[in-house]
Structure 1
């Protein structure tokens, strides 16, 4: 029996937006501090209903063979049984997502 390929749900912050994408491969990059994402998975194009958020992501990642995401931007990576709907949501005001501070707080 052939082993099913793993599918990963990767959530990361990019320009104050929370990206949730699905891909087949996630691994550390040779570039220090980055993760490589490959094999992006988007819904079937034959669907009658089209999700504008997914369509936006599909356009943004069209032609992208591999994406390098800074490790500090990654919120969570899950191995899932099947892909869901990729989406972009606002990360501001969300109680579940907090960006790691880029600079240390100033001492008084």
Structure 2
């Protein structure tokens, strides 16, 4: 029997790039968001501990489902096995102009 796929999701969150692994990902009923369920983190038997993965574990502890804005997603890959979840600094974002937003109506 084939194993369930695992997805690697890279997205931007507050000037950092998050790379997480999940078993389920789909478009949310909440317009403009992706739903991610069953986050997968590295094995507890590893001797070397990655501080960014530990930070992600703590941040997503107790989370059953996460909603990620579609405009924050960089890439989604289907992979054969999970890797190390990590947080890296978003480089080069200073040259990107944000799409102009409408001013709020009073």
TM range (shorter): 0.7 to 0.9
Contact 1:7 1:81 in 2 (8 A): yes
With over 3 angstroms needed to count, the CA separation of the structure-2 counterparts of 1:13 and 1:37, relative to structure 1, is same
Q: TM-score, normalised by structure 1?
A: 0.85
Q: TM-score, normalised by structure 2?
A: 0.87
Structure 1 stretches (4+) deviating beyond 3 angstroms? none
- The secondary structure found in structure 1 opposite 2:75 is strand
Counterpart in 2 of 1:81? Answer: 80
Counterpart in 2 of 1:101? Answer: 98
Q: CA-to-partner distance for each residue in 1:46-87, whole Å, 9 max, x for gaps? A: 222111111111111110000000000000000001111110
Contact 1:72 1:100 in 2 (8 A): no
Unaligned runs of 5+ in 1: none
- The secondary structure found in structure 2 opposite 1:32 is coil
Counterpart in 1 of 2:61? Answer: 62
Q: How many equivalent pairs are there?
A: 100
- Structure 1 residue 31 and structure 2 residue 18: aligned? no
Counterpart in 2 of 1:91? Answer: 90
Distance of 1:3 and 1:61 partners within structure 2: 28
| Aligned-CA RMSD value | 1.7
Unaligned runs of 5+ in 2: 102-106
